[in-house]
């Protein structure tokens, strides 16, 4: 890769830090099996006495949890322990007999939502970010409360009206939280224990989990108390105590080096350092477009992208507003974390910061800076 461009990437991030847009950041890039950048810039938080950002600083990665949980589901598929065509209600009875909200009233589902629908966010669920009738019911049922277990979340969510018929549209949703509950049912134990057994332990991801033990608290990265542009209060998950809700959709904490182990395994076709988690074909299946002509009901997805099983998938080099090859896959986390993998370039890159208001900006900025170094 082009060293001046890598230097420019760090300079741009440092400028964001100097202008107090970001408290600090860690960037990691691997190209053709070589780590070409692993830089820590700025501070771990906004306080005057905050320690310098370190390469092993810990970040709430929020929705970058989704690919990890999705891979665990595919691992069970390959073991013959579940099938993606099975209805969700086979594992979680609360999802039986679902109904769909329409302006004219509730109507029965035309077909049951499947595990496949959960993986590709076509199960009719949502995140209830709007003010509509379904969102009101999500809030009344306290969907997403960190005081409820995965099983309790699923039992509360299953009977609520769907936002659309299963399979009729892509909508970013709590589907991966439901996948976490399915993992608990099939594997037994908490989601954290399941992920440790299936993925985190075998890959040596010892810094990744749903909470941070006391001896590591000094390494947790923090955000500004208020968004530097809007002045809105910034509230992130408290990860210093074990949560009741181990959110498969957004609960993990990790480091750049730990998450790089996961992406190395993915880019390596399911294996890393002699540990085979899944087959090459499962990775290719996960990172293929699973939407086809299914419409996008949510503006989160950028032009030129479809969706695989837990990751966005670039359909073609054009249409998008940021560079990337066809077949590139990626996702991000609410607090300002971003990754992408480009198999055609034998490349992956990770950017970790804690700046929720800058996520959309960073999703555009970071790939442009990385591809400029090729």
Res 213: pLDDT: 97
* Average pLDDT score over residue span 65-73: 98
Residue reference for tokens 């985190």: 200
User: What are the b/e assignments for 50-82, b being 16+ CB within 10 Å?
Assistant: eeebeeebbbbbbbbbbbbbbbbbbbbbeeeeb
Model confidence pLDDT, tens digit, residues 146-166: 999 999 999 999 999 999 999
User: How confident is the model over 332-350, as a mean pLDDT?
Assistant: 98
For the residues of 266-318, what is the DSSP string, one character each? HHTTSEETTEE-S-HHHHHHHTS---TTPPB-STTSPTTEEE-SSSEEE--SS
**What are 348's strand-pairing partners?**
30, 341
Question: Which range has the worst mean pLDDT, 208-222, 253-267, 285-299, 305-319?
Answer: 285-299
| Percentage of the chain lying above the pLDDT 70 cut | 100
CA-based nearest residue to 175, from 190, 199, 153, 147: 153
Tell me the three state secondary structure of residue 91: coil
β-pairing verdict for 105-108 and 275-276 = unpaired
CB 232 within 8 A of CB 357: yes
Q: What is the dihedral of CA 308, 313, 315, 317, to 10 degrees?
A: -170
pLDDT tier, 130 (very low <50, low <70, confident <90, very high otherwise):
confident
The two three-digit tokens of residue 19, written as one number: 């202008």
The reported pLDDT for the residue numbered 128 is: 84
CATH of the domain at 17: 3.40.710.10
Q: What is the pLDDT of residue 329?
A: 98
Domains in the chain, number: 2
Regarding whether 91 and 180 lie in a shared domain, the answer is: yes
Closest CA to 205 of 298, 272, 286, 123: 272
Q: Do 247 and 231 lie in a common domain? A: yes
**Residue 300 confidence (pLDDT):** 86
Mark which of 119, 153, 187 sits at the end of a domain.
Answer: 187
Residues 8 and 118 in one domain: no
Beta strand residue intervals within 80-206, DSSP E: 99-102, 105-108
Expressed as residue numbers, the domain containing 138 is: 72-187
Same domain, 294 and 195: yes
Give the pLDDT confidence of 193-223 residue by residue, as tens digits.
999 999 999 999 999 999 999 999 999 999 9
Q: Among residues 187, 212, 231, which one ends one of the domains?
A: 187
Beta strands 105-108; 253-254: pairing state = unpaired
Using the 3D structure, point to which of 162, 187, 212 is the last residue of a domain: 187
130 and 37 in one domain? no
pLDDT of residue 14: 98
- The answer to whether 294 touches 312, Cβ cutoff 8 Å, is no
Residue-level pLDDT at 297: 76
């Amino acid at each position: 890769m082009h060293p001046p461009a890598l230097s420019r990437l760090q300079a741009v991030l440092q400028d964001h830090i100097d202008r107090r847009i970001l408290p600090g950041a860690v960037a990691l890039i691997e190209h053709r099996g070589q780590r070409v950048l692993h830089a820590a810039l700025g501070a771990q938080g906004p306080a005057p006495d905050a320690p310098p950002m370190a390469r092993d600083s810990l970040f709430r990665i929020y929705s970058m949890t989704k690919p990890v949980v999705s891979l665990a589901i595919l691992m069970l598929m390959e073991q013959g322990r579940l099938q993606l065509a099975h209805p969700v209600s086979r594992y979680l009875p609360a999802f039986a007999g679902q109904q769909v909200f329409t302006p004219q009233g509730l109507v029965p589902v035309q077909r049951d939502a499947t595990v496949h629908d959960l993986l590709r966010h076509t199960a009719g669920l949502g995140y209830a970010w709007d003010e509509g009738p379904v969102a009101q019911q999500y809030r009344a049922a306290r969907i997403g409360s960190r005081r409820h277990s995965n099983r309790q979340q699923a039992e509360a969510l299953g009977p609520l009206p769907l936002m659309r018929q299963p399979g009729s549209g892509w909508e970013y949703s709590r589907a991966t939280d439901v996948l976490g509950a399915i993992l608990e049912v099939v594997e037994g134990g908490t989601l954290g224990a399941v992920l440790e057994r299936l993925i985190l332990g075998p890959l040596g991801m010892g810094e990744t989990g749903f909470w941070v033990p006391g001896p590591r608290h000094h390494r947790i990265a923090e955000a500004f108390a208020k968004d530097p542009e809007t002045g809105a209060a910034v509230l992130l998950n408290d990860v210093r105590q074990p949560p009741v809700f181990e959110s498969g959709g957004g609960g993990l904490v990790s480091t750049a080096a730990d998450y790089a182990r996961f992406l190395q395994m993915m880019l390596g076709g399911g294996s890393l350092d002699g540990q085979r988690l899944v087959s090459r074909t499962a990775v290719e299946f996960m990172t293929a477009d699973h939407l086809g002509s299914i419409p996008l009901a949510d503006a989160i997805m950028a032009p030129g992208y479809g969706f695989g099983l837990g990751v966005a998938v670039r359909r073609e080099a054009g249409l998008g507003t940021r560079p990337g090859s066809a077949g590139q896959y990626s996702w991000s986390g609410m607090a300002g974390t971003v990754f992408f993998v480009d198999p055609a370039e034998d490349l992956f890159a990770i950017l970790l910061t804690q700046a929720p208001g800058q996520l959309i900006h960073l999703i555009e900025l970071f790939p442009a800076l990385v591809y400029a170094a090729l």
